[in-house]
Structure formats: C-alpha cells, structure tokens
Structure 1
C-alpha cells in the first residue's frame, strides 16, 4: 500500500505518512449470548479476546487452528445497507479445542455452527468466542459456518469502502474482520471462494478467477475462486457499475481490468501499460506468481492505493485529475504490481516484517522510475539517507517499527518502512554486489512462494546467497535507532537535505 498523491498536484513526493483513512469503529459485533444457568455447575471462563502474539497488533489472529479455505457468500442491495452474509471456514485444529476465537466486528451474528451443529458464541472485544457442541481434537479438520451481516456504514479504518456506485474492500492492515469473520492475520493464508448476489445491472469482481455467473429475476450471482492462498488483508470484492476488459499479458497471462463504465476510454491508456510492466518485473524477480492480474480503478476517495491479490486497487482521480507526470503514475502502478511478489505471494509472518513488503515495492518503483524517466536511484537513496535518522526517531527502525498511534492503526505505514526499507536493500546490494543481490531477490520469491517469511529468513538467505554471514552487517540497518554508514558513500550524512 503506497501513498496516494491525489488531489495534490505538487511535485512528486511520497505521502505514506499522510494517508487519510476512516477512523476505526469501536462497536463490537452484536451476537446472541447463551448463559449457562445450571445450578451448581462450574461456569466456564469468561470469553476473552485472543491473538497470535503479533507485536504491533496483540489481539489480531487466533491460536489453535490453521484456516485452509474460506467460502464467503454476500448479498448486496445498496452501499448504505448491511449485506446479508454466510462465511464458511474450513480449518485444522493445531491443539484440542473446546472453544476458539474468530476475528469479527462491525456486523451482527445470527448463529454459528461447527460441523453442522449449533455452537454457542459470545463477543469479546473484536473477537467472537465460539464453543462447539463437542470439542475438536487436535489434528482434525472442522468447518465453521457463521451467519452474519457485513456492514459498510459508518467510519473506520478499512474494511468496506463506499464508492460512487457500490463498494470495494480495503482490509490492510487489520480490517478484514470488519467484513467477514476469520483468522485475520497474514501468517494464516488460505484459499478463498466468493459468492456475491447483486442487482443484475451491477458488476461484481473479486480476487482470482471467475467460476460462474447466474441471473435469476432481478439479481445475478457471481462466483470467484483463488488458485493460490491469500492473506485476509488482501481480499477484494468490488461491486458497482463497472466495465471489465480482459486481454492477454506475457506468457498468455490473463489480464483483467475493472474501471468505472463512464471512464473506460479515458483509462485505457493506463491499463494498457500493465503487460510491459509485468515483463519488466519478471526480468528482475522471475515469473508473475498468480493466475491473473489487473487494475481495479474505483470512484472513491481512499487516500491510498492497495495491492489486493491479483487485482490492485487504485483511486480513479489518480489517473484522471492528479496532474502528476506519466512516469510518476507508472511508478505507482509498478509499486502495486511489485507487491504481488513481495507481500502477496511472499507474505509477512508478522506485521513487524512490513518493511519486506513496502521496502521491496518502493525499491522496484524507484528502479522503474530510473529506467522509465532517468530519475536516478542513487539520488533518491541519498535523499532517503539524509532523512533516515528522522524517520527512525519517528517510527522506529525498519524491522522493528513502533506500534500504531492510538486510534490510527494504519499509522504503522510510515516512511521508515517505505524509502527506509528500500535504503536497507540499497545498502545490502552495495555490500554484496549486484549479481548476488539479484540472485537473492529471485531465490526469495521462489523459496517462499505462496508462503510467509520473516526478517530473520531474509537475513539468513542473504547470507546463504552471498556466501558470507550478513547478520552483523544487516542488524544495525534493520534494528538500530541510528542509520549506519552507507557502503561506498562515506560522504552521505543524515540530518541534512541531500
């Protein structure tokens, strides 16, 4: 997720710290609660919110199970009305479960079933605590069915975003559970199926490939399935008066672009650049990792662009009214495209590993700007170096970012993980050489394809590929409060404009 420059047609500048986001609503999901009133019985422990131990989001995710697949059914009527929904989750218990938690808020729950039998459910913070009729043994697969609503109304940080003619999703970093219940942490990736019923005059798109469309009366049911596992924060369902164009990219790759109907012609010049951008990325990091790709250009004011898997989200005004030069807007497109490798295909094990996503996307954005328009990478990195100590003081080191500001969870997306993360990559390439660095990038994607990885994994692979232990070199770049000297540039200084 980078900055979005719209609507400020000033000289190109990064705006990661200036995103506008909906403020997070604090209303917990409303659920029916069954009390145990048996005389003399021992009451179970009170429901509590749990988490998987993420340093930045302690209550995000849930222990005790791994999700294999989501099947999410949504019925849409208007963007100011809750959607009726059913979410089915297939998971495997990693320990014996007499109860377990799901992340969910901003909707009502009508009932929960585990393996077809009614279960008890109670709210706890932004969790649902589910008690099945019978405990689930360790190692066994089980299915959870949640009947709920999904409410696009109100303010908040992410989840549903209302557009001029419908809805899109923006779930980063921790807002997937504002749309559907699940294990809302990037460490637990799963396959997704979306089934969406909407008025027949509207178009629905989602991650993955189309798997069916049926019109009955005044509504159409659309079905999409992913072929690769996906983190919940990367889920995308878009509903509106959209035009969908399909064409062929490198190696026969299916390309699918979704734009407002009225802007189809005006936006063709931008969507037509995707094949060349994919070829450019493949030459540097290897084959595109998913089943398809495209741009989702929405008539919405979000303040950001977002790398939802296979279908990157962009604001319409970025291309129609921004006033920025073409090379700059193309570099923003490449930023989101690069995330398909770095962040989507290889996802962070924890949110402290965010620099692996944003640092890499910024790196390839900057390389593309150099190749496309002669905007020298060295100049950008020198400018970043000058501000690096300031960024670290504001947001922490790249691999140990500070927690979000109260009430602004999206504030973990600070400059230190963008250009600060790219600066780490520039230092490493200067230290081990361009050839070893290129091998590292390709090997990273190949080894962790469709999985998750940590900063420690990156340091270990850099050591393996370069033939020398890189931990002593990378540790201060990743974790120190002050920026180390830049290899090959003893004249670079921090604290002064470059």
Structure 2
C-alpha cells in the first residue's frame, strides 16, 4: 500500500500466529469473538482450522448504495476439535449457514460470526461452510473500507482489516487460500477480479462473470471491480498476460501510463526474478481513496494519480513500481503477523526508490540520508520497523506509518551497506524463491540474511529492526539523526510529504 496526501481511509491490520485451545465439548466456550493473538489485531483470524479455498458469489443490482446478495463457500480443514467455528464478518446480514451440508445455528459477536454446527467437527476433518448473506458497500465508519464506491460502481480495498466487511472469512494473512469469484451484474457493466477469467454468461438483463486465482491469496488482497470499464490487454515478459481495467471514458488519456507496465515488470524481474503470478494489471478507479493498493494481480490506483497535472513522470512511475513490487513482497511472500509488515512496505519502498534513481535520476542516497535524519522521530511516534506500537485497549491502529516505509527501506539500505550489493541481491532472490506462495516472519528474514552472508547478522539486524534509537549507518559515519522534537516532517507519511512537495 502507498498512502497519498489525502487522509487515508485504509485502517489497521490483522492478526497472526498461535492457535488457542478450545474447551472440550462437554463445556462449550461462550459464543464470543476469538482471534489468533496478533499483537496488532488480536481479534482477527480464528483458531482451529486452515482455509483451503473460498468460493464467493455476489449479485450487484447496479446501485452501489444497496447491499449485494452473496453466498460465500469456504473449504477448510480442522486442526483441532471444533464445537463452534468463528469467522470474521461484520458488515452484512447473515441469512443462513450450513456446515458440512447441515444447517447450523449462528450468532454475531463483535466482528465475528460464531457458528454452532449440529455436531462438533473432529480434528483433521474437512470443513465445508456455506454462508448466505448480504455485503453492504455503504461505510459504517469513515476510516474503514472494504468496498470502495466509485463513480460508476465498486472496487475493493481490504487492507488491512476490512475483507471481513465484504465476505465472511479467516481475515488474516497467515491463512492464505485459493479464491473463485462469481459476480452477477447488469448488462453493460464490466466485472474483473483477481486471477484468470473462467466464464462469462449472459442471462436476460444480467451477465455472470467468473474468475479464479492460480496461487493462494491473503484475504486482504482480494479484488473485485464492477463498473463502466475498459479492459486493455497487453503482453509482458515471456508472454505474461497484462490486463488493465480503467474507466472507459479515460482509456485514451491513460494509455501512455498503461504502456509502462510491461517494461516495469521486466525491470523488476531483472532485480528479483520472475513475476510470481498468472497475470498483472492496473485497476484505475474513479474514487478518492487516499492510497494505492497492491491487490493480488490487479493493483488499485486512484484515477487522479495519472490525470492530475503536476506530478513528474518519474514520480508516478515509481508509485506504479511500488505496488508492482508488492506482488513479490507482500502478495507472493506474505507477512505471517502484522508486525512483519515492514517486509512488505520496506521492500516496496526500496524498489520504488531504486527505480526512481535508475529511471528518474533521483539519487537513492539522498532520500536515505533524509530518512536517517528523521528515523528516531519515526521510531518514537510509531515504534521501530519490526515492532510497531500496539493500539490502545479497545482501539484500532493504523500501522501504515513512515517507519514501515522509508524507515524499513533504511534498514535494507543499512543491510546492503553491511554485506555488499552482490550478497544483498542474492538474499532478495533467495527469499522470494524460498517463501513463494507462503508466509514468512522477520526472524525468517534475519536467519536467511545470516545464511546468505555467511555470518551471524542477528545483532546487526535486531538493532535496525527493533531498537528505539537508530543505529549508525555503515559507510556513512557523517550521517546524523535529528533530535525528535525537531523532526517535524516525521509526522507526515512519506508519500504524503512527497506529494505535497510536488503538488
């Protein structure tokens, strides 16, 4: 994700990690919210099962103020005995639930849908859940997203903790799954979703569109676009399908930007290896969101980024590369906990800056030095890169702070300074190969950095990722950190500051 100069509406993020032990069937636990204990989003995700796939059917009336009729089918496997099953779901009406073909009772508790099957499901058993519900595109709170209402329809922005506002799910990136979408919409509208198209069937005044992912995906990365759109097809490296979804009326004006994508993919492949998914493209939305977002295979962008005058071309292209980079860092290799989000945003910022240096003649070292000056203030405000400050009790948190963007890229710069460019590039490629289509942690990255470099880097990286104060920069003993009280610019998101300077 990349935040803009407008107040971001994307909110906080999820949960990860350990499983809770459910109380035996003889004394069923209360029907309350669970969560898997993520320190930043403790009530997201659910213990007891592993989702294998989602099948989501949505029916759109043509009015983006009205709830969509929906059926969500979940195929999972239990990893313990379950007398109750919790799903994350908070912004729709549940009409019925079935578990393994039998009707099940259900209740809502906070942001959970709590299901009681007619009989407990044993460990290591298949779990098939069907939920008939509505999906409401109207916001209940200003800062939360899920559905984004565009000028001509809808799109999704589920990062970090908003997928469960669209469909029932295990809403945490640690539980990735395959997705199939079936969207019925009025004739004349175009529907695009993650993955590859399966079928398109017209029936009277409506058309049903189906898509399926080839690779597993975190719930936060799901994307469905409905609108009066043009779909522009190109070919990327080694024949990769590139499909861009843009407002039909803006196709001609946007084409010069769309033409950049195949070359940007080729540039990234030269840096880190082959693109990891079945296709890619831009989804340009007629909406004011305050951010760009790396939904898997179809990155979401505001129309304004491309059509507003005043942004240099190198700057817009570097933002495009930021979201493209996430297809490797964050989408293919996903964070196991939300404290690991620096691995997403730090790498996306790193390659954004590298692209700006190589293509736009913007020295990376200059931006790194500026980030170093502000780093202590960022750490004081939001915590160090790999340990963002947790929310206050009863509150949510936005973890998309400067410290996980430029602050995390600064840690990567320090690592490259320490081990040298060849070893750093080997580390990046090995990381993506080893953890492709999976999840990984900060500890995994530290261990691999030590393995690739041939020496123990745990102390060096612990200081850069966890210490409240910024360590000395290797190779730059002259770089100084500003006192916290003087680093006023640190209160801005890095992208916000850049856009204000340019605009």
Determine if the TM-score, normalized by the shorter chain, exceeds 0.5.
Answer: yes
Report the counterpart of residue 446 of structure 1 in structure 2.
Answer: 433
Report the CA distance between 1:303 and its aligned residue: 0.2
Report the counterpart of residue 135 of structure 1 in structure 2.
Answer: 120
SS at match of 2:40: coil
Report the counterpart of residue 385 of structure 2 in structure 1.
Answer: 398
Comparing 396-405 with 446-455, greater Cα deviation is found at 396-405
Aligned partners of 2:127 and 2:392: how far apart in 1? Answer: 37
Aligned partners of 1:79 and 1:265: how far apart in 2? Answer: 26
Aligned partners of 1:210 and 1:124: how far apart in 2? Answer: 36
Q: Among residues 46, 53, 56, which one is paired with 1:72 in the alignment?
A: 56
Distance 1:230 1:322, change over 3 A: farther
Aligned partners of 1:186 and 1:312: how far apart in 2? Answer: 17
Give ranges in structure 1 of 5+ residues lacking alignment.
6-17, 25-41
Q: Among residues 3, 9, 26, which one is paired with 1:21 in the alignment?
A: 9
Report the counterpart of residue 413 of structure 2 in structure 1.
Answer: 426
Aligned partners of 2:431 and 2:199: how far apart in 1? Answer: 35
Report the counterpart of residue 209 of structure 2 in structure 1.
Answer: 222
Is the aligned partner of 1:464 residue 2:451? yes
Aligned partners of 2:115 and 2:282: how far apart in 1? Answer: 38
When normalised by structure 1's length, the TM-score is 0.92
Distance 1:406 1:358, change over 3 A: farther
Aligned partners of 1:201 and 1:70: how far apart in 2? Answer: 27
Aligned partners of 2:261 and 2:397: how far apart in 1? Answer: 28
When normalised by structure 2's length, the TM-score is 0.91
Aligned partners of 2:153 and 2:392: how far apart in 1? Answer: 30
Alignment size in residue pairs: 469
Please tell me whether the aligned partners of residues 282 and 299 of structure 2 are also in contact (alpha carbons under 8 angstroms): yes
Aligned partners of 1:62 and 1:103: how far apart in 2? Answer: 8
Please tell me whether the aligned partners of residues 242 and 281 of structure 2 are also in contact (alpha carbons under 8 angstroms): yes
Give ranges in structure 2 of 5+ residues lacking alignment.
13-25, 490-503
SS at match of 2:170: coil
Distance 1:242 1:187, change over 3 A: same
Task: For residues 372-427 of structure 1, give each alpha carbon's deviation from its aligned partner in whole angstroms, at most 9, with x where no partner exists.
Answer: 11110111100000000000000000000012478984621000000000000000
Report the counterpart of residue 286 of structure 1 in structure 2.
Answer: 273
Aligned partners of 1:382 and 1:326: how far apart in 2? Answer: 23
Aligned partners of 1:73 and 1:383: how far apart in 2? Answer: 48
SS at match of 1:412: coil
Please tell me whether the aligned partners of residues 93 and 139 of structure 1 are also in contact (alpha carbons under 8 angstroms): yes
SS at match of 2:104: strand
Deviant stretches of 4+, over 6 Å = 405-408
Distance 1:194 1:410, change over 3 A: farther
Distance 1:407 1:161, change over 3 A: farther
Please tell me whether the aligned partners of residues 22 and 155 of structure 1 are also in contact (alpha carbons under 8 angstroms): no
Q: Among residues 119, 138, 158, which one is paired with 2:104 in the alignment?
A: 119
Report the counterpart of residue 47 of structure 1 in structure 2.
Answer: 31
Q: Among residues 83, 94, 98, which one is paired with 1:109 in the alignment?
A: 94
Report the CA distance between 1:155 and its aligned residue: 3.9
Report the counterpart of residue 186 of structure 1 in structure 2.
Answer: 173
SS at match of 2:398: helix
Please tell me whether the aligned partners of residues 84 and 150 of structure 1 are also in contact (alpha carbons under 8 angstroms): yes
Report the counterpart of residue 368 of structure 1 in structure 2.
Answer: 355
Report the counterpart of residue 95 of structure 1 in structure 2.
Answer: 80
Is the aligned partner of 1:482 residue 2:469? yes
Report the CA distance between 1:99 and its aligned residue: 1.1
Q: Among residues 260, 263, 268, which one is paired with 2:250 in the alignment?
A: 263
Report the CA distance between 1:23 and its aligned residue: 7.9
Aligned partners of 1:279 and 1:67: how far apart in 2? Answer: 33
Is the aligned partner of 1:3 residue 2:3? yes
Report the counterpart of residue 262 of structure 2 in structure 1.
Answer: 275
Distance 1:235 1:394, change over 3 A: same
Aligned partners of 2:205 and 2:73: how far apart in 1? Answer: 26
Distance 1:68 1:487, change over 3 A: same
Report the counterpart of residue 287 of structure 2 in structure 1.
Answer: 300
Task: For residues 144-175 of structure 1, give each alpha carbon's deviation from its aligned partner in whole angstroms, at most 9, with x where no partner exists.
Answer: 00000000013431100100010000000010
SS at match of 1:411: coil
Report the CA distance between 1:495 and its aligned residue: 0.6
Report the counterpart of residue 336 of structure 1 in structure 2.
Answer: 323
SS at match of 1:493: coil
Report the counterpart of residue 39 of structure 1 in structure 2.
Answer: none
Aligned partners of 2:11 and 2:290: how far apart in 1? Answer: 13
Aligned partners of 2:307 and 2:4: how far apart in 1? Answer: 13
Report the CA distance between 1:124 and its aligned residue: 1.1
Q: State how 1:241-256 maps to structure 2 within 5 Å.
A: 241-256=228-243
Q: Among residues 389, 396, 404, which one is paired with 1:417 in the alignment?
A: 404
Please tell me whether the aligned partners of residues 23 and 155 of structure 1 are also in contact (alpha carbons under 8 angstroms): no
Task: For residues 439-491 of structure 1, give each alpha carbon's deviation from its aligned partner in whole angstroms, at most 9, with x where no partner exists.
Answer: 00000000000000000000000000000010011111000000000001000
Please tell me whether the aligned partners of residues 10 and 160 of structure 2 are also in contact (alpha carbons under 8 angstroms): no
Comparing 378-387 with 131-140, greater Cα deviation is found at 131-140
Q: CA RMSD in A?
A: 1.6
